[in-house]
Structure 1
Amino acid sequence: MENLVYNKRISTVVPARMTPEEKSSHELTSMDLAMKLHYIRGVYFFESKAVEGLVILDLKKAFFQLLNVYFAASGRVRRSEHGGGRPMIKCNDSGVRIVEAQCSKNLEEWMGIMKDDHSINDHLTYKHVLGPDLGFSPLVFVQFTWFQCGGMSVGLSWSHILGDIFTASAFINMWAQILGGHPPRHPAENPSSETDKLPCFTTKSCSLKTVGPVGDYWVAPNNCKMRTHSFHITEQQLHHLLTKICRLSPSEKIRPFECISAIIWKSLAKIRKELMQEFVTICTHNSHDIGNESPRNRQVVSTVEFDAHFDADVLHVANFIAKKQVDEREKIAELIDKEDGNLDCIVYGANLTFVNLEGTKMYEMELKGVKTVYANYTIDGVGDNGVVLVLPEMKDGDKGLRVTMIMSENEVAELKNELKYEWSIN
């Protein structure tokens, strides 16, 4: 394939003012550290009218103010000098990296290619990881890629230890607001806020998988090549799926996330020709933290156990997902703390993992009053069992969903066919 993205230039932006001494250390929670081998990649597309007249200096200036608020994003990982060397973030204003790039395609051509090969978007986010020199590794990269038509993409590469996708989305949304002339507001934070408590019955964590050791090079190993596939489900398609699943029990009410998760879980079990995987992991946003955008990993991580054969009714599977979740957060914290924060592990893909991102405010991002025409997130560092992200999508006024899967390359083609012929999803 031709050189799609070229003329990359990298620079650094730092906070407009020095971070005060009392805020110079950002302690990482156990959930933050459980996510240290995962990386969030987000991409937003804007038509030429949204970026007309903007130059790279304009785009950078907004980060000066943004990093006054998200000063931890401008820091670097250090290890505590006390105890077992627990990782933390030194807020030393080292900055985030800005990448400028040019694309050989126009936006319409790019989105046409993307329909068949979503991995093309890998060119639009900088593939950074932390280490092996942790103390010098930036936590965030933002890539601005200009298309031939004058349109632009904004690619966010975000270290998961800083926070979940809700946090990453809030970060880049605030950058756009500052660029639009709105003063930054400090994200609401209530560290003592109550959390949604699901039942916790397990004696050991079923959602973590230990790997490594990886030392100071925070990269998760894989036994197979992973591939990304992404598709849109319209409001009409979603209504049809819900009606089809509940046709024998019309009084049953299941949500879109459980519907999609059950269909994919059942389809994968059929492909793998095995019993339904004993455990799956479910990641959802903590309802008590809605509006809390300060840098933290606040998602609820739970597991669902299901040992029925793969011909189980999809409605039955969806109800299990909705009602049989077991909260893993306390057990995760216990395991991480037992190793002084140095446990090398993965969450996404340790089991087949479903992530509910329906509440993400991706389509609220706008430049010069013009909203993004496409937005999506993926995750790097996913284990062999794969991850499925369920995100909102606005397309020609249709409030549907975007489903993004990171799976074993060998399974993606079979899963696409199964979803197409059994469920009319493509």
Structure 2
Amino acid sequence: MVSAASHDTIPPGLELAHRKFSTVVPAESSGEGRPVRLDDLDLALRLHRLRLVFFFSGPAGSVPTPDLKLPFFPLLKPFFPSCARVRVSGSGRPFLHCNDCGVRIVETRSESPMDRWLDTHAPLAPDVVLGSDVNFSPLVAIQFTRFSCGGLAVGLSWAHALGDAAAAANFAAAYFRMLNGNPPPDPITLRKPAAALPPLASPPQSVKPGKTVTGSWLAAPEDTMETLTFRVGGEAVAALAAEAAAGTPFAAVSAAVWRSLARIRGSAAVTVVRFGGAAREWILGNDLTVGVAAPPADFSLAELARVISRETADETAAIAALAAAEAAPPDLVMYGANLTFVDLEELPVYAAGIGGQLPAFVGCTVDGVGGGGCVVVLKGAAGSDGGRTVHVTVPQAEAAPLRTELLPVFGLL
């Protein structure tokens, strides 16, 4: 199945009503007044935000809202930096001031059934921006949306400066475990130790200077962007992987999008983002690898998949070094500086649920995407038999022709 929507707007025929706002703080003071350093890579990614939305049908939708909110009180004790607010040191370097200000909670409902929202999920995670007064803006916000069919969506809006998609997914998994009556996670390392940075030899090609929405940590849009969501079945994924001789479905699916988009806009370098895995000894931070690859002369699916899998030049350290080069970090855009492929295949978003009921569907998108576009690949829902969910954010003028290109490729006609 496929749909298209402007990234954070609600399409015609759908609406959200009865919004109610509140704030949840830790049950006990935790980290009060403690400064938490933002590493150089955190600062390089600070103009981006992640949105994760978990959809539940059946009995999970009947859990009362107070019961949904209750786990956050103990959860925020080990995850206390999620309650912090941004401050700027005298040198101009931002850091987190842990003052237990809490996370924002939004409650809302839709008179439409849940299945109409599966491919238009971004509005179901709160539209929160760090700014214009960044000192008071929450790093994390949660939205509970109830649907006319009795379903429930739990949406997480997560500042990328706080951590990557794996960190966001671990936060969500800890919440669901506690909602099911399990104890909060044991105290673990707060952040991965920062590695020493090599000198910046040449500017990385996977980022570019970004303009911000005035006073905020959000990249100003270069163009009107549109997100296409494809729910690709396992049979189509297997066929692509066989044609591409790819080691992973991610490489095969990404190669298909790259080839189709090149027919529309021409060939250009791409960025490939991978994560260090969800099994970590720390709870926050960006442990990702950012590689850049030049387009090959041969645009066959197999060659494109090979380049994505094996021919990327790692620029992660160079991006961090660029952010560290000045006391006040530069405004950078990474997602969409080039066409950017994001590998979330191993993200355990279907591993935890509500009362033993796993999510019916999970979506994940990125805010602040540049004009090069962004492709996020996740595992498909249970029952998809090895399928993949593919979110493709591109300039609006490219969305319709790209959809036409990809529908037969993904076996969705």
Structure 2 length as normaliser, TM-score? 0.91
Asked whether 1:58 is paired with 2:67, we answer: yes
- Do the aligned partners of 1:166 and 1:293 also contact (CA within 8 Å) in 2? no
Match of 1:345 in 2: 332
- Please state whether the residue corresponding to 1:424 is helix, strand or coil: coil
- Do the aligned partners of 2:25 and 2:83 also contact (CA within 8 Å) in 1? yes
Aligned-residue offset at 1:43? 0.9
Match of 1:69 in 2: 78
Superposed CA offset, 1:190-238 (max 9, x none): 724999x9xx997221111102366631221223110111112222211
- Do the aligned partners of 2:31 and 2:99 also contact (CA within 8 Å) in 1? no
Match of 1:250 in 2: none
Aligned-residue offset at 1:397? 5.6
Asked whether 1:256 is paired with 2:249, we answer: yes
Alignment CA distance shift 1:18-1:201 (3 Å): closer
- Do the aligned partners of 2:234 and 2:384 also contact (CA within 8 Å) in 1? no
Asked whether 1:161 is paired with 2:150, we answer: no
Alignment of 1:238-249 (within 5 A): 238-246=237-245
Alignment CA distance shift 1:60-1:209 (3 Å): same
Alignment CA distance shift 1:202-1:325 (3 Å): farther
- Do the aligned partners of 1:174 and 1:184 also contact (CA within 8 Å) in 2? yes
Alignment CA distance shift 1:159-1:192 (3 Å): closer
Match of 1:173 in 2: 173
Q: Which of these residues, 281, 293, 306, is aligned with residue 319 of structure 1?
A: 306
Alignment CA distance shift 1:321-1:341 (3 Å): farther
- The one-letter amino acid paired with 1:283 is V
- Do the aligned partners of 2:46 and 2:217 also contact (CA within 8 Å) in 1? yes
- The one-letter amino acid paired with 1:76 is R
- The one-letter amino acid paired with 2:101 is S
Match of 2:58 in 1: 48
Asked whether 1:335 is paired with 2:322, we answer: yes
Q: Partners in 2 of 1:258 and 1:76 — Cα distance?
A: 38
Q: Partners in 2 of 1:7 and 1:133 — Cα distance?
A: 26
- The one-letter amino acid paired with 1:335 is L
- Do the aligned partners of 1:51 and 1:367 also contact (CA within 8 Å) in 2? no
Superposed CA offset, 1:97-123 (max 9, x none): 101112112324x25xx4xxx33x233
- Please state whether the residue corresponding to 2:169 is helix, strand or coil: helix
Alignment of 1:26-45 (within 5 A): 26-45=36-55
Match of 1:301 in 2: 290
- The one-letter amino acid paired with 2:30 is T
Match of 2:100 in 1: 93
- Deviates most, 210-219 or 330-339: 210-219
Aligned-residue offset at 1:396? 2.4
Alignment CA distance shift 1:47-1:243 (3 Å): same
Superposed CA offset, 1:129-171 (max 9, x none): 1111011111111010111232211011111111111111111
Structure with greater helix percent: 1
- Deviates most, 382-391 or 201-210: 201-210
Q: Which of these residues, 260, 274, 277, is aligned with residue 284 of structure 1?
A: 274
- The one-letter amino acid paired with 1:79 is V
Asked whether 1:369 is paired with 2:353, we answer: no
- Please state whether the residue corresponding to 1:242 is helix, strand or coil: helix
Q: Partners in 2 of 1:129 and 1:232 — Cα distance?
A: 28
Match of 1:249 in 2: none
- The one-letter amino acid paired with 1:59 is L
- Do the aligned partners of 2:232 and 2:410 also contact (CA within 8 Å) in 1? no
Q: Partners in 2 of 1:397 and 1:212 — Cα distance?
A: 40
Match of 2:4 in 1: none
Q: Please, which runs of 5 or more residues in structure 2 have no aligned partner? A: 1-11
Q: Partners in 2 of 1:291 and 1:191 — Cα distance?
A: 9
- Please state whether the residue corresponding to 1:372 is helix, strand or coil: coil
Q: Partners in 2 of 1:304 and 1:368 — Cα distance?
A: 44
- Please state whether the residue corresponding to 2:335 is helix, strand or coil: coil
- The one-letter amino acid paired with 2:18 is N
- Please state whether the residue corresponding to 1:161 is helix, strand or coil: coil
Alignment of 1:126-165 (within 5 A): 126-165=126-165
Asked whether 1:11 is paired with 2:22, we answer: yes
- The one-letter amino acid paired with 1:208 is V
- The one-letter amino acid paired with 1:191 is K
Superposed CA offset, 1:20-45 (max 9, x none): 45x71111111111111111111111
- Do the aligned partners of 1:231 and 1:403 also contact (CA within 8 Å) in 2? yes
Q: Please, which runs of 5 or more residues in structure 1 have no aligned partner? A: 247-252
Q: CA RMSD in A?
A: 2.4
Asked whether 1:236 is paired with 2:245, we answer: no
Q: Which of these residues, 62, 69, 78, is aligned with residue 87 of structure 2?
A: 78
- The one-letter amino acid paired with 2:20 is R
- Do the aligned partners of 2:210 and 2:332 also contact (CA within 8 Å) in 1? yes
Q: Partners in 2 of 1:19 and 1:229 — Cα distance?
A: 41
Q: Partners in 2 of 1:421 and 1:385 — Cα distance?
A: 23
Superposed CA offset, 1:225-284 (max 9, x none): 1011111222221111122334xxxxxx53211111111111111111x3x20x211100
Alignment CA distance shift 1:409-1:49 (3 Å): same
- The one-letter amino acid paired with 1:368 is G
Q: Partners in 2 of 1:41 and 1:423 — Cα distance?
A: 24
Structure 1 length as normaliser, TM-score? 0.88
Q: Partners in 2 of 1:182 and 1:265 — Cα distance?
A: 43
- Please state whether the residue corresponding to 1:366 is helix, strand or coil: coil
- Do the aligned partners of 2:337 and 2:370 also contact (CA within 8 Å) in 1? yes
- Please state whether the residue corresponding to 1:8 is helix, strand or coil: strand
- The one-letter amino acid paired with 2:94 is P
Superposed CA offset, 1:332-368 (max 9, x none): 1111011225210110000000000001011112101
Q: Partners in 2 of 1:257 and 1:74 — Cα distance?
A: 34
Q: Partners in 2 of 1:7 and 1:15 — Cα distance?
A: 26
